[in-house]
Chain A
């Protein structure tokens, strides 16, 4: 059974840093791209960042570029998101999402974690 579990969320002050993690099991993690998608309270879905299977291709939304860094450790079947210079508008539930195919052109998600809540507030 595929499982994706996020952790590391919490309450931080504006300008501070936080790292959220995602641990996967039940599938060949090392073969699939992984992404972060967030959802602000009561709002819609917003794509944040994605990383290819071998970390050779990394993309970011403009809203987080230069502040967030995505990485992965295939040996540990883990995905990370280092978030620096956090802003109030970064407050959201952060989902770890598994890209459904190994094709770099087909980036949609068939498995999602339950999310980890990041709250940025003074």
Chain B
């Protein structure tokens, strides 16, 4: 199975900050990576797919990068609506696996 490791697990930030979340895969997954945002009591929302493609309707302050085993989700200027937990997910092979999550808080 491919293990996905996110860091940090918790991130304290302020409005306007540039935030970077990292996801590391235990083996090469090419660009087969997605990022999701989840708020308490809600289902996840797709932000990025294929490592760097922004999903329709997602604000341009979000961006994804990386390939192989190292990936990043960047929020260029943190907004109030961005305080949430973020997950990466690999879809290179089954079983599909998620990272442990990164909680972005004030």
Contact = CB atoms under 8 A, between A and B. Distances in A.
Interface of A: 35, 44-47, 50, 59, 61-62, 95, 100, 105-110, 112-115
B25 to A, nearest CB: 15
A112 B96 contact: no
Contact of A44 (B42, B46, B55, B101): B101
Contacts of A45: 36, 38, 44, 87, 89, 98, 101
Interface residues of B, number: 24
A45 B55 CA distance: 20
A32 B44 CA distance: 19
Contacts of B99: 44
A107 B98 contact: no
B11 to A, nearest CB: 15
A62 B46 contact: no
A106 B91 contact: yes
Contacts of B43: 95, 112-115
A92 to B, nearest CB: 13
B24 to A, nearest CB: 15
Contacts of A47: 89, 95-98
A110 B95 contact: no
A29 B42 CA distance: 22
Nearest to A106: B91
A108 B89 contact: yes
A1 to B, nearest CB: 13
13 contacts: A44-B98, A47-B97, A47-B98, A59-B94, A62-B1, A100-B46, A107-B91, A108-B34, A108-B46, A108-B89, A109-B34, A109-B36, A109-B44
B49 interface: yes
Contacts of B66: none
